[in-house]
Amino acid sequence: MRDKAHAPTGVNVNKQPCDMVELDLTQKREELKGDYGASLRWGARFEDGEFSTKVKNDSATIQLESGWGGKATVTISLRAGKLYWKVIKSEGENYFPREMILHRAK
- Establish if 67 belongs to a structural domain: yes
DSSP3 helix / strand / coil % (the chain, rounded to 5):
0, 60, 40
- Establish if 75 belongs to a structural domain: yes
Residue 5: predicted pLDDT: 54
- Establish if 35 belongs to a structural domain: yes
| C-alpha radius of gyration, the chain, whole number | 14
Residue type present at position 63: Q
Boundaries of domain holding 64: 20-102
Residue 35: predicted pLDDT: 94
Residue 22 or 2, more confident: 22
- Establish if 13 belongs to a structural domain: no
- Establish if 30 belongs to a structural domain: yes
Convert the pLDDT of each residue in 12-55 to its tens digit: 555 555 788 889 999 999 999 999 999 887 667 889 999 999 99
- Establish if 9 belongs to a structural domain: no
* pTM (2 d.p.): 0.79
- Establish if 10 belongs to a structural domain: no
> How far are the Cα atoms of 15, 78, 104 from residue 90, in angstroms, in the given order?
25, 22, 26
- Establish if 15 belongs to a structural domain: no
Q: Which residues contact 15 (CB under 8 A, 6 or more apart)?
A: none
Number of domains in the chain: 1
Q: In the predicted model, is pLDDT for residue 6 greater than 80?
A: no
